[in-house]
Copies of this chain bind each other. A is one copy, B any other.
Amino acid sequence: MDKLTLHEDPRSGNCYKIRLAAALLGLPLERVEYDILKGETRTPGFLAGVNANGRIPVLQIGERFLPESNAACWYLANGSALVPGDRFAQADMLRWMFFEQYNHEPNVATLRFWLHYVGRANLTEGQEAQLEAKWLAGCAALRLMDEHLADADWFVGDAITLADIALFAYTHVAEEGGAFHLADFPHVQRWLDRVRAVPGFVPMQG
């Protein structure tokens, strides 16, 4: 495999997904850090050379660049035990990964970013107006996960897959910023501990 370089901000759960997948797979990953709060992913150099969408993470594979956290995880894990081989199970894993990007991240991660990093006093009027809707949608996403995990140890099948990695990233730090309380979702809490106990697990900070 070509040399792997992760362009990231270590506080980003989306970036952490890729580090966690790489760690579980035993793949070495070089890291280049950017500070998104300082706009370091919106510079002309970043837009032209790394990602025209101005976002991290980007997984660099040799001279090629792959944006989108869940696509980068797929690149790393394709063919491994983190991706089920069964046709339905594989699609069902992607289903939870699309759910993560559509229903979970824009609510759970965005509220953490706004309240924990940006700070409520610094929010724009438009952001302030969205707080309640994002809180409700984030709670709905966590509740859906909790209901699924009432009957299952993992999101798909009987072992960890990329679906668990994708959903773990922002769920385990959902309380940062104060919007969400994981005690309301006990099956999610037990699943978080299950993920932390997987051999090769690495924490977000480190």
Residues of A within 8 A of B (CB): 52-53, 61, 64, 66-72, 74-75, 78, 87-88, 90-92, 94-95, 97-99, 101-103, 105-106, 125-126, 129-130, 132-133, 144, 147-148
Collect the chain B residues with CB atoms within 8 Å of residue A91's CB.
66, 71-72, 74-75, 78
Copies in the complex: 2
**Distance between A18 CB and nearest chain B CB, rounded to angstroms:** 12
Q: Which residue of B lies closest to A58 (CB)?
A: B95
Pick the 9 closest A-B CB pairs, nearest first: A75-B91, A71-B95, A129-B129, A71-B94, A68-B98, A68-B95, A101-B102, A71-B91, A74-B91
Collect the chain B residues with CB atoms within 8 Å of residue A98's CB.
68-71, 97-98, 101
Collect the chain B residues with CB atoms within 8 Å of residue A129's CB.
125-126, 129-130
Q: Are A66 and B52 in contact (CB under 8 A)?
A: no
Known: A87-B78, A90-B78. A67 touches B126 (CB 8 A): no
Q: Are A144 and B53 in contact (CB under 8 A)?
A: yes
Known: A66-B92, A74-B94. 9 other contacts (CB 8 A): A52-B144, A52-B147, A53-B103, A71-B91, A71-B97, A72-B95, A75-B91, A78-B90, A125-B129
25 sample A-B contacts, Cβ–Cβ < 8 Å, listed by A number: A52-B144, A53-B99, A53-B103, A66-B88, A66-B91, A66-B92, A66-B95, A67-B95, A67-B99, A68-B98, A69-B98, A70-B94, A70-B98, A74-B90, A78-B90, A78-B91, A94-B94, A101-B101, A101-B102, A102-B105, A102-B106, A125-B129, A126-B129, A126-B130, A126-B133
